[in-house]
Chain A
Amino acid sequence: MKKELKIPRIKDGTVIDHITAGNAVKVLRILGIPEKTTSVVSVAINVKSKLGRKDIVKIENRELDPYEVDKIALIAPKATINIIRDYDVAEKHKVELPDEIAGIVSCPNPTCVSNANEPVNTRFRVICKDPPRIKCYYCEREPDDIAERII
């Protein structure tokens, strides 16, 4: 049986595949889409795959820096970044959490200085990459609901 594509192939751009099902919108938020891009972006949610359900994001005519995208590993640790050139996968990269995450997640501690009116981004040290565990650089609190805390 011919495999049916839920979203058409793109000629050039970036495909983020194997996003944890249901997290595509949060991935877009982490990447600053649509605010930081005018590219056409297609999103497929709850797509069937060999490993269960997944989400897919396709961004046309824009190659994301794979390392810049690593921060999405916070909520999509199995995601892959595919750079597409002339319909072919030119580069493939599996996301890996960096050692520090800044300005993406808010601290769960209401009295943390990063939640006060100070000119700083939130900052977290990554203490475990898979499953993702992070600790606030300022107050050392560890959020247990990372996906809900995406800024």
Chain B
Amino acid sequence: MSFFLIRMNFKGKDVISIKDFSKKELNYVLEYAKKMVPYARGEKYKDLLKGKVLSSLFFEPSTRTRLSFDSAMNRLGGRVIGFSDPSGTSQKKGESLADTVRMADSYSDIIVIRHPHEGAARLAAEFAKAPVLNAGDGAGRHPTQCLLDLFTILTERKSIKKNRIILLGDLKYGRTVHSLAYALSMYGVELTFVSPASLKMPREVIDECKELGVEPKQSSNLDKAIKDADVLYATRIQKERFPDPAEYNRVIGSYKIDNALLEKANDDLIVMHPLPRVTEISPEVDNTSHAVYFKQAFNAVPVRMALLSLVNGGLL
């Protein structure tokens, strides 16, 4: 497949949900992101977004997402305005999100938004002429994270399809795993969901995977599942989900990824995590060839550079 043969027009496109993308479009963005890697590392420079302004509206805390969007915009010669804490904004005076978005729209060319309410980015897109990129809306969607996860699998495993992938941890509330399960099903991977019984993957997500032709396996036994896996995607289990601290401690202990567990895995298994991790992955794993979660965090930059460039209508 040649990248240039299927040039697609993303100019002005909102990026709200991974479901808004066809597989062809996903492939296009991922291939374009590969080209962005040397620019993301600062080894090359091209001011594709010179003179452009990004509104970065973070109504919720973020480290990686906000910084990587900032970095992506700066690496392409653009500028960033916005806030990372809404306490200093008119939201505190009762301003609606719609009005905040209208204002940001008049000040900038692209809007990135993270908000505690599900559907906030979809609403923002209704009120903005500029393209809106969803950087996480409540427990809902986080499409740019999903794209960088796909990108990491693609670059580390050379291909997305045919991989045997475990999604591990809080599969009920974790916003990254729902979109990821859907997107991976588009590629026809083998999926295994490993979680505590109280944090199982919601039925509607499993149904969506099935509609795409993937029959996910479910397990609570990581030791067994890891033997046949190519990718282990772990997520944080949040303590506040457990009314009983003893139950939390039991669960967290049974899903800990350490070198003893990885001895049971294939040599080329990769371990991914959207971060922040707490106790899910032991620091001793960091120095093994399995650990790709910091590369994954870096991949946020080329993928977001690709998206910012595409929605602005520019190409390398």
Binding site for B on A (CB under 8 A): 109, 111-114, 116-120, 136-142
**Nearest CB in chain A: distance from B259 CB, A:** 39
Which residues of chain A come closer than 8 Å to B138, judged between CB atoms?
Answer: 111, 139
B204 near A113 (CB under 8 angstroms)? no
- C-alpha spacing A120/B17, complex, angstroms: 20
| B residues less than 8 Å from A114 (CB atoms) | 119, 123
A/B interface sample: 26 pairs, CB < 8 A: A111-B116, A111-B139, A112-B117, A113-B97, A113-B118, A113-B137, A114-B123, A116-B97, A116-B117, A117-B94, A117-B96, A118-B96, A118-B98, A118-B123, A119-B98, A120-B98, A136-B119, A137-B122, A138-B120, A138-B122, A138-B123, A139-B137, A139-B138, A139-B140, A140-B141, A142-B204
Closest to A138 in B: B119
Residue of A113, A118, A119 with most partner-chain B CB within 10 A? A113
Question: Is there a chain A Cβ closer than 8 Å to B126's Cβ?
Answer: yes
**B172 CB, nearest partner CB in chain A, Å:** 14
> Besides the contacts A111-B117, A111-B139, A140-B119, what 5 more A-B pairs have beta carbons closer than 8 Å?
A111-B116, A136-B119, A137-B122, A139-B140, A140-B140
Contact count A vs B, C-beta below 8 Å: 53
Report B-chain residues with C-beta under 8 Å of the C-beta of A139: 118-119, 137-138, 140
Bound complex: CA of A65 vs CA of B81, how far in Å? Answer: 49
Chain B residues in 8 Å Cβ range of A138:
118-120, 122-123
Minimal beta-carbon separation of B14 from chain A (angstroms): 13
Interchain CA distance A118-B123 in the complex, whole Å: 9
> How far, in Å, is A112 (CB) from chain B's closest CB?
5
Query: Which residues from chain A contact B97 at a C-beta distance below 8 Å?
Result: 113, 116, 118
Chain B residues 203 to 223 lying within 8 A of chain A, measured CB to CB, are 204
B182 to chain A, nearest CB (A): 11
Residues of A within 8 A of B96 (CB): 117-119
Minimum C-beta distance from B91 to chain A (A): 11
Q: How many angstroms between the C-alpha atoms of A120 and B119 in the bound complex?
A: 12
Residues of B close to A111: CB separation below 8 A: 116-118, 138-139
B245 to chain A, nearest CB (A): 26
Of B17, B94, B119, B141, the residue contacting A112 (CB under 8 A) is: B119
Give the residue name and chain of the A residue nearest to B123 (CB): A113
Which chain B residues lie closer than 8 Å to A136 at the CB level?
119
Q: For the complex formed, measure the closest distance between the CB of A109 and the CB atoms of chain B, giving whole angstroms.
A: 6
Q: Once the chains are docked, how many angstroms separate the CA of A119 from the CA of B126? A: 11
Hey, which chain B residues are within 8 Å of A119, CB to CB? 96, 98
Q: How distant is the Cα of A90 from the Cα of B108 in the complex, in angstroms?
A: 56
With both chains docked as a complex, state the minimum distance between the C-beta of B204 and any C-beta of chain A, in angstroms: 7
Nearest residue, chain A, Cβ from B96: A118
Q: Mark B97-137, 1 if CB is under 8 A from A, else 0.
A: 11000000000000000011111101100100000000001
Chain A: minimal CB distance from B115 (Å): 8
A118: chain B residues at CB < 8 Å are: 96-98, 123
Which residue on B lies nearest to A114, using beta carbons? Answer: B119
**Residues of A close to B204: CB separation below 8 A:** 142
A80 to B222, CA, bound (A): 56
A135 nearest CB neighbor, chain B only: B204
10 closest A-B pairs by beta carbon, nearest first, are A138-B119, A139-B118, A113-B119, A139-B119, A113-B117, A113-B120, A113-B123, A138-B122, A112-B118, A118-B96
Contacts of A137 in B (CB 8 A): 119, 122
Complex: chain B residue closest to A109, CB-CB = B118
- Residues on A with beta carbons closer than 8 Å to the beta carbon of B123: 113-114, 118, 120, 138
Chain B residues closer than 8 Å to A142, beta-carbon distance: 204
Instruction: Provide the residues of chain B in CB contact with A140, threshold 8 Å.
Output: 17, 118-119, 140-141
Q: Hey, which chain A residues are within 8 Å of B140, CB to CB?
A: 139-140
Q: How far is the CA of A119 from the CA of B138 in the complex (A)?
A: 19
Residue of A nearest to B204 (CB): A142
Min C-beta distance of A101 to chain B, whole Å = 16
Closest chain-B Cβ to A127's Cβ sits at a distance in Å of 11
